[in-house]
Amino acid sequence: MKKIEIAPSLLSADFYDLKADLDLCKKHKIEWLHYDVMDFDFVPNLTFGAKILKDITDRTNFKIDIHFMVKVKSVDFESFFEEYIQTKPAMMTMHIEAMSKNQASTFINLCQKNNILASLAIKPNTEIDEILEFLPIIDNVLVMTVEPGFGGQKFMSKAALKIHDLKILAQENGYHYTIEVDGGINDQTFEIVKKYNVDLVVAGSYLFGQSDFTQRLEKLK
Ligand code: DX5
Ligand code: ZN
């Protein structure tokens, strides 16, 4: 990921007319799509499972970035991801707050042996220290700039400071991970994260459901 990539978040798409939103992304040559899986346990909201994703990936060529906001019982841990892996996502992200350190290692291995980029997410109040031991091996860090659970919330600039620290850590230690930011992105907050040289930017309510999708997307380019 050299230039900043935009990943529209399907959470804010129109599910009655999902194809129209996907066609809009296709028309604008958007490569990445962000897919938020929520369980009403790790976060106070419930979204969608693998079936909708399969229907999308069967008919389109987007790079899929699955953002899991779920807790998974240890006995079911690997099998939980199976259906998602079959859809051949480009990247899968799990929250460090939702896993034991053992589960995090298992998750990273599972992704990488299936040629999926392994990504860890941190909530706005979670310190980088929590993922420090995994930084040498992961492919991406997702920095949340809102509390996970809902679209349309206000960007938390303090959380974005971690992007800078993660960049420095990568440079100093030769780590290869990219950095993704998710939550509260609009044309103004985009300018902030751009300064931090982030790689992948998620945008939900700023783009979907807006009559001027095209102009808004242009502002993020
Ligand atoms: C929130 C999700 C986000 C959400 C972002 O928990 O992880 O991906 O769709 O929505 P906006 O861009 O509206 O903040
Ligand atoms: Zn997300």
Element spanning 212, H or E: none
Query: Measured in angstroms, how far is the CA atom of residue 136 from the centroid of ligand 2?
Result: 23
Name the active-site residue from 36, 65, 139, 199. Answer: 36
Query: What is the tally of structural domains in the chain?
Result: 1
Q: Whose atoms come closest to the Cα of 153: which ligand?
A: 1
Name the active-site residue from 21, 65, 139, 182. Answer: 182
CA triple 104-105-109, angle to 5 deg: 115
205 Cβ below 6 A of ligand 1: yes
183 Cβ below 6 A of ligand 1: yes
What are the residues facing 63 on neighbouring strands? 32
- Which amino acid, one-letter code, is at 194? K
For strands 178-182 and 140-144, give the pairing. Answer: parallel
Mean per-residue pLDDT over the chain, rounded = 97
Query: Measured in angstroms, how far is the CA atom of residue 9 from the centroid of ligand 2?
Result: 7
**What value does the mean pLDDT take over residues 67-92?**
97
Q: Cβ distance 217 to 28 under 8 Å? A: yes
Decide if 17 is catalytic.
Answer: no
> pTM of the predicted model, to two decimals?
0.98
Assign residue 137 the CATH number of its domain: 3.20.20.70
**pLDDT greater than 80 at residue 110:** yes
Decide if 182 is catalytic.
Answer: yes
Q: Cβ distance 96 to 71 under 8 Å? A: no
ipTM higher than the 0.95 cut: yes
Q: How far is CA 104 from the centre of its chain?
A: 16
State the closest ligand 1 atom to the C-alpha of 184, by its place in the atom list counted from 1. Answer: 14
The pLDDT score that the predictor gives to residue 221 is 86
Separation between Cα atoms, residue 143 and residue 147, nearest integer Å: 11
Alpha-helix residue ranges (DSSP H) falling in the chain: 18-27, 50-59, 77-86, 101-113, 157-173, 187-195, 213-219
9 Cβ below 6 A of ligand 1: yes
Residue 198 belongs to domain spanning: 5-219
CA triple 52-178-56, angle to 5 deg: 15
**What value does the mean pLDDT take over residues 159-163?**
97
Q: How many CA atoms are closer than 13 Å to the CA of 109, on its beta-carbon side?
A: 8
The pLDDT score that the predictor gives to residue 2 is 72
Pull the structure tokens for residue 9: 């978040």
119 Cβ below 6 A of ligand 1: no
**pLDDT greater than 90 at residue 49:** yes
